[in-house]
């Protein structure tokens, strides 16, 4: 595969995402989601990134990270490879699980962070998987809403920008805010 045209630089926030090869599922049961999150914790260490938000969907994932070092491509490659090997072994399959290498978009505007996190947390609702984002176990929504004391996402930056101050559920339901960012990640839903 070709190398990235844009370098990933420390001090920047990136929206990372990927989907299943041929738009197929990458998560088949609950344990798969949990395994992926364990691998995220293992490969994307706090020394390298702060994970601001995440959402895992049946056929794709979203990670929002604040990059602390220039060490992201190798851990992401290792994460994808480890997860693919695990799924191939568990389900007696061979070949690629993901569509290709992970995609990244630099979030170069602080005001974009809030709609992006909102988009990520509403993704399971939009996808018809649940009626309310709190019902979806595999996103950072529950941490933001104070329903779970997870340690993976770092909430402070987005909470400060959102001004939700503990009322993230009301913030998410506020129809006066943009519902989703207009970016190419929407292709994941097509």
Question: Are 27 and 38 in contact, with CB atoms under 8 Å apart?
Answer: no
Rounded CA gap, 30 and 131, in Å? 18
* Domains defined along the chain, listed by start: 13-185 (3.30.70.1290)
Give the tens place of pLDDT for each residue, 10-37: 999 999 999 999 999 999 999 999 999 9
Residue pair 162/168 in contact by the 8 Å Cβ criterion: yes
> Which among 159, 128, 160, 163 has a CA at the least distance from the CA of 141?
159
| Cα–Cα separations (whole angstroms), residue 45 to 76, 82, 97, 110 | 11, 15, 23, 23
Q: What is the pLDDT of residues 108-136, one digit of tens each?
A: 877 788 889 989 999 999 999 999 999 99
pLDDT (0 to 100) of residue 155 = 87
Which of 9, 186, 24 is CA-nearest to residue 91?
A: 24
**pLDDT at 177 > cutoff 60:** no
Average pLDDT over residues 88-115: 91
């Amino acid at each position: 595969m070709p190398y990235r045209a844009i370098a990933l630089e420390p001090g920047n926030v990136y929206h990372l995402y990927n989907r299943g090869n041929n738009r197929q599922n990458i998560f088949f049961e609950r344990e798969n989601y949990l395994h992926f999150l364990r691998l995220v914790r293992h490969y994307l260490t706090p020394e390298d990134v702060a994970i601001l938000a995440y959402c895992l969907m049946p056929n794709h994932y979203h990670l929002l990270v604040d990059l602390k070092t220039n060490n992201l491509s190798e851990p992401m490659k290792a994460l994808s490879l480890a997860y693919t090997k695990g799924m191939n072994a568990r389900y007696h399959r061979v070949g690629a699980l993901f569509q290709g290498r992970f995609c990244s978009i630099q979030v170069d505007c602080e005001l974009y962070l809030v709609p992006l996190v909102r988009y990520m947390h509403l993704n399971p609702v939009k996808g018809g998987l649940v009626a309310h984002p709190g019902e979806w176990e595999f996103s950072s929504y529950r941490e933001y809403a104070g329903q779970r004391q997870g340690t993976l996402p770092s909430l402070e930056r987005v909470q400060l920008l959102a001004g939700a101050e503990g009322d993230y559920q009301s913030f998410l339901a506020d129809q006066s805010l943009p519902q989703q960012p207009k970016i190419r990640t929407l292709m994941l839903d097509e």
